[in-house]
Amino acid sequence: MTLIEIIGFISAAIIGISLGLIGGGGSILTVPVLVYLLGISPVTATAYSLFIVGFSSLVGGLSYAKKGLVNYKTGIVFTIPAFISVYLTRLLLVPALPETWFVVGGLEITKSIGIMVIFAVLMIAASYSMIKDKKALKKELKEVKGSKKFNYPLIIVEGVVVGALTGLVGAGGGFLIIPALVVLAKLPMKEAVGTSLLIIAAKSLIGFIGDIQSGGDIDWMFLTIFTAIAGAGIFIGTYLSNLIDGQKLKKGFGWFVLIMGSVMIYKELFA
């Protein structure tokens, strides 16, 4: 095993620990670690990320389910369009994307660059929900929640959109799902988190099946080891969450994700 692989597996543990410690967001680091640290192509990295994020979310979701913090009815309504969308995106859309998207001022935007830039933009968007003060964020959601009527069609549309984004970049999309469940389905915050974890698990793993059926090249040994280490990290993070204030760490982690997303955009487009 090379030094780079060892560092990569240590990063897997860090991803898992952050998931267990702050309750989400850590999976957003999976694709950058796979691409920039381990040299895996963006398309393959997004496939691996779907499996890793799916497994990690399943572990977390089951713990919420044991506490009765999962709304299965809403979860099913959201999950069905989401996993159909992510499955078709991985099976049909991603393989069909051209290697060169367009050229601007001599800069060629390739498939790999485009996927990484979209991913970086999502990282920056996700960082907002981590940096934003928890009380202020809850207040915003409550205000919007009060002005909306419970609307299953909107939940279905949101599921399709989140599924497509998940399929394209391999991210879980919890920062999009949780507000949707609070605003559109009137779920309490903790129940929205638990429900979103199982939604992410279902659509991510279904999306990964689309990759397998499209003939994606999967290194099962590497993927199994990386996922197992991340899964173990979740339990370590969950234990540490009883000793450390996760909310303070979450804000710091949000700034890290914001900086990392910005650096990725610079690297892909200007470096």
Closest CA to 57 of 246, 202, 253: 202
State how far the Cα of 19 lies from the Cα of 11, in Å rounded to an integer: 12
Q: Where are the domains of the chain?
A: 3-269
Asked if the model's pLDDT at residue 179 lies above 80, the reply is no
Question: Per the confidence metrics, is the pTM higher than 0.85?
Answer: no
Q: Would the pLDDT of 148 be above 50?
A: no
2-23 mean pLDDT: 81
Helix ranges restricted to H, the chain: 3-22, 30-32, 42-66, 72-88, 94-96, 111-131, 134-146, 152-169, 174-185, 189-213, 220-240, 246-269
State how far Cα 55 lies from the chain centre. Answer: 12
pLDDT tens figures, 224-241: 999 999 888 888 887 887
Average pLDDT over residues 191-196: 85
**Residue with tokens 């809403």, as numbered in its chain:** 74
Q: pLDDT for 72-116, tens place per residue?
A: 988 898 889 988 998 899 889 988 989 999 888 778 889 989 989
